A and B are shown apart, each in its own frame.
Chain A
Amino acid sequence: AQKVTQAQTEISVVEKEDVTLDCVYETRDTTYYLFWYKQPPSGELVFLIRRNSFDEQNEISGRYSWNFQKSTSSFNFTITASQVVDSAVYFCALKAGTASKLTFGTGTRLQVTL
């Protein structure tokens, strides 16, 4: 069975602070894919990144960066110099083996204030 844990339920930061959202996953499959999605107050789910189990390279996209560590089964997401528009619920998700479905974590609500 697959499981994704996002231990941080809510995080509040002041604009321009850096913030890291944690994600820990469990799977017995050797082939799997990890994802981050953003759900702003408007409700839609926005794809941010996909990472496969064979690629542990970290990735940076603008103010966003992701740290994938198989040794600790973690796929953490860092926002640098946070902005009010980053306020949203962020979901980490896992797709493993031959299953087509995504297993989501419970999400982390990020509140960025001025």
Chain B
Amino acid sequence: AAGVIQSPRHLIKEKRETATLKCYPIPRHDTVYWYQQGPGQDPQFLISFYEKMQSDKGSIPDRFSAQQFSDYHSELNMSSLELGDSALYFCASSLSHLRTEAFFGQGTRLTVV
């Protein structure tokens, strides 16, 4: 079965650089979520989109922005990267933004040096 696809899987950037993470949800899923997981921590919610509109916002820094496109894929744009942004970034998708379970991609491991 098709799963959530994230690219790239690994990314190394220098401080103050920008990065773009991409997420392709499971077909027919209308909701996309972004989470950040630091080393040894639980995933922290960043932002979500339902039918291409932002539906919920968590602890996403102002330096980050995201959007969901007409084909439902989503991109997380990160600027002025800091060492503390090094983390595993997960995208998840679900059939509905309220009731159903979210299926996660394999994550993008971002390392800022």
- A33 nearest in chain B by CB position: B99
B94-113: CB near A (< 8 Å → 1, else 0) gives 00011111111111010000
A32-51: CB near B (< 8 Å → 1, else 0) gives 01010100001111110010
B10 nearest CB across to chain A (Å)? 11
Could you say which residues of chain A place their CB within 8 Å of the CB of B58? 101
CA of A98 to CA of B48, assembled, Å:
13
Could you say which residues of chain B place their CB within 8 Å of the CB of A52? 99
In the complex, which residues 66-113 of chain B have their Cβ closer than 8 Å to any Cβ of chain A? 88, 90, 92, 97-107, 109
Cβ contact within 8 Å between A101 and B48: yes
Cβ contact within 8 Å between A47 and B43: no
- A50 nearest in chain B by CB position: B101
Asked whether B65 is an interface residue with its Cβ less than 8 Å from the other chain, the reply is no
Could you say which residues of chain A place their CB within 8 Å of the CB of B92? 45
Cβ contact within 8 Å between A91 and B43: yes
Partner of A104, one of B42, B99, B105, B109: B42
CA of A52 to CA of B41, assembled, Å:
25
Cβ contact within 8 Å between B97 and A50: no
Could you say which residues of chain A place their CB within 8 Å of the CB of B45? 101-103
Asked whether A99 is an interface residue with its Cβ less than 8 Å from the other chain, the reply is yes
Cβ contact within 8 Å between A100 and B98: yes
CA of A7 to CA of B82, assembled, Å:
32
Could you say which residues of chain B place their CB within 8 Å of the CB of A91? 42-43
7 smallest beta-carbon distances between A and B, as pairs: A45-B104, A101-B45, A104-B42, A100-B97, A50-B101, A100-B56, A44-B106
Interchain Cβ contacts under 8 Å between A and B, 14 examples = A43-B88, A43-B106, A43-B107, A46-B104, A47-B104, A50-B100, A100-B31, A100-B50, A100-B56, A101-B45, A101-B56, A102-B45, A103-B45, A105-B42
